[in-house]
Amino acid sequence: QQQVKQSPQSLIVQKGGISIINCAYENTAFDYFPWYQQFPGKGPALLIAIRPDVSEKKEGRFTISFNKSAKQFSLHIMDSQPGDSATYFCAAPMIPSGAGSYQLTFGKGTKLSVIP
Amino acid sequence: DAGVTQSPTHLIKTRGQHVTLRCSPISGHKSVSWYQQVLGQGPQFIFQYYEKEERGRGNFPDRFSARQFPNYSSELNVNALLLGDSALYLCAARRSWESSTDTQYFGPGTRLTVL
């Protein structure tokens, strides 16, 4: 069962445009929502994260919007650049069955292509 | 500080063989987790170790095992390889094991291909 549902699967945006990636979750116990960026041949890297007690967090061109009542959060990339072309994953920490600590459960990813 | 390092970068094995993947965490980061990332999917949790003890195991068969050494480096072992084990294996390090907000730093991964 997918704990975090991410859409779209792929996204093509013109340079300078806004990229928007959405995630939805069911587990109201989630208390932290990071976004990871992954370039080909690299491991995921933390991009930005938010806690559910705030509705928005902005870092440079990257913004997370959080809607607690709808159990949804989204990543907005303003003024998208070709260098932003990567796969983006939303995630949430959960305690897997049989585990003793928090581990990240990831969405399936969104492949973003920013064209010049 | 150097980031999380993993070796080897790429590996090709045949079905039924055994493989060992290695990870060195960031200095001061005592928790190591292993994830499997199949092409086109997000990473899936396999194991977590902290202070050489297993702290968590994901939904993977017993063919998968791991251990952590006194210097906090870690090995992931997979026995009796299947074609479906072909994936990118990621190691992630963090300072603690209890906190839900502790950042996980990922290594570049080992690309395993099983023929």
Candidate from A36-40, A66-70, A96-100, A108-112 with smallest mean pLDDT: A96-100
Query: Which residues of chain A neighbour B35 with C-beta distances below 8 Å?
Result: 104
Q: pLDDT digits over B75-108, tens only?
A: 999 999 999 999 999 999 998 877 778 889 999 9
Query: Which residues of chain A neighbour B107 with C-beta distances below 8 Å?
Result: 43
Task: Specify the pLDDT at position B1.
Answer: 52
3-state secondary structure of A35: strand
Query: Which residues of chain B neighbour A29 with C-beta distances below 8 Å?
Result: none
Does the CB of B4 have a partner CB in chain A at under 8 Å? yes
How far apart CA B19 and CA B107 sit, in angstroms, is 18
How far is B107 from chain A, CA to nearest CA, in Å? 5
Residue A68 has pLDDT above 80, yes or no: yes
Does the CB of B42 have a partner CB in chain A at under 8 Å? yes
Identify from A1, A104, A111 which residue to disrupt to test chain B contact, counting B C-beta atoms within 10 A and taking the largest count. Answer: A104
Mean pLDDT for chain A overall: 92
Does the CB of B25 have a partner CB in chain A at under 8 Å? no
Percent residues over pLDDT 90 in chain B:
76
Supply A88's token pair. Answer: 């983006």
How does residue A59 score in pLDDT terms, banded at 50, 70 and 90? very high
Q: Are B64 and B87 in contact (CB under 8 A)?
A: no
Query: Which residues of chain A neighbour B56 with C-beta distances below 8 Å?
Result: 95-96, 98-101, 103
How far apart CA A16 and CA B49 sit, in angstroms, is 43
Does the CB of B84 have a partner CB in chain A at under 8 Å? no
The arithmetic mean of pLDDT across residues A21-25, rounded, is: 96
The arithmetic mean of pLDDT across residues B60-83, rounded, is: 96
Q: Are B100 and A102 in contact (CB under 8 A)?
A: yes
Could B45 and A34 be called an inter-chain contact, meaning their C-beta atoms sit closer than 8 Å? no
Residue A97 has pLDDT above 90, yes or no: no
How far apart CA B89 and CA B109 sit, in angstroms, is 5
How far apart CA A85 and CA A112 sit, in angstroms, is 5
Q: Which amino acid, one-letter code, is at A10?
A: S
Q: pLDDT digits over B19-59, tens only?
A: 999 999 998 899 999 999 999 899 999 999 988 898 888 88
Query: Which residues of chain A neighbour B90 with C-beta distances below 8 Å?
Result: 43-44
